[in-house]
Amino acid sequence: MTEPATGTPEFGADFRVRFAELVAWRRDVRRFRPDPVPEEPLRECLALACLSPSVGNSQPWRFVRVSDPGRRAAVTASFLRCNEAAAAAYDDARAAAYRNLKLAGLREAPVHLAVFCDEATGAGHGLGRATMPEMLRYSAVTAIHTFWLAARTYGLGVGWVSILCPEEVTAAIDVPPAWRLIAYLCVGYPAEEHADPELVRHGWQARLEASFLER
């Protein structure tokens, strides 16, 4: 990873515009091209993700690249079961709309990454999580979001698949028992680009207005 410049950086108006574009163009990608992802940008994104904030500087995220076809098949099978159960929970009209959505790119994405939180880590010495132990998991989420933004700068897309049974996925990947699944990510080059989220485009849920609640 490129070393940061020495001294206090200045982030001017031009940078803020580009940063806003980056955030706006971060998409949850479900449609991928089959092109392989070079190792270098993937490693760069991982290195940036590991600069994310974490409670007590515990850095509890654990990224696992899932390449074995059998393990991938088990994850896909979990998705298919959970996806059908989710569709069945809606009434007829909403269930039909749900089934028309593409909610994962598990078969197309060249890279699969499972992200876990190591809840037995001794790093950080417990600082900041005695009263809110869930901060470990939130810390892992910050790394996932950083990875997501970094991937976009390399033209890569990331899809977060949450319609899964965590226990099934954890068993399929075979990781230590103290690791808790936080995210299963599909990574690759997008087959199409859209400024608006897919769920907005297909009428599932509109964007909500940004606001502060005053107290």
Output the pLDDT for position 1.
Answer: 63
171-208 tens-digit pLDDT: 999 999 999 999 999 999 999 998 898 999 999 999 99
What number is the average pLDDT over the span 149-175?
97
Strand ranges across the sheet with 61-65: 61-65, 111-118, 179-188, 157-161
φ/ψ of 91, rounded to 5, equals: -70, 175
The mean pLDDT of 87-108, rounded to a whole number, is 95
Q: pLDDT tens digits for 111-139?
A: 999 999 999 999 999 999 999 999 999 99
| Domains by residue range for the chain, with CATH | 46-154+175-201 (3.40.109.10)
Give the CA angle between residues 113, 117, 121 to the nearest 5°.
Answer: 135
In contact, 57 and 121? CB cutoff 8 Å: no
Q: What is the pLDDT of residue 2?
A: 59
Mapping DSSP onto H, E and C, the string for the chain reads CCCCCCCCCCCCHHHHHHHHHHHHHCCECCCECCCCCCHHHHHHHHHHHCCCCCHHHCCCEEEEECCCHHHHHHHHHHHHHHHHHHHHCCCHHHHHHHHCCCCCCCCCCCEEEEEEEECCCCCCCCCCCCCCCCHHHHHHHHHHHHHHHHHHHCCCEEEEECCCCHHHHHHHHCCCCCEEEEEEEEEECECCCCCCCHHHHCCCCCCCCCCCCCC
Whole-prediction pTM value?
0.93
13-24 pLDDT, tens digit each: 999 999 999 999
Q: Are 54 and 142 in contact (CB under 8 A)?
A: yes
Predicted confidence at residue 145, as pLDDT, reads 98
Q: Decide if pLDDT at 4 tops 70.
A: no
The pLDDT tens digits for 5-53 are 678 999 999 999 999 999 999 999 999 999 999 999 999 999 999 999 9
User: Which residues, at least 6 apart from 78, have a Cβ–Cβ distance to it below 8 Å?
Assistant: 164, 165, 168, 169, 172
pLDDT of the residue at 3: 61
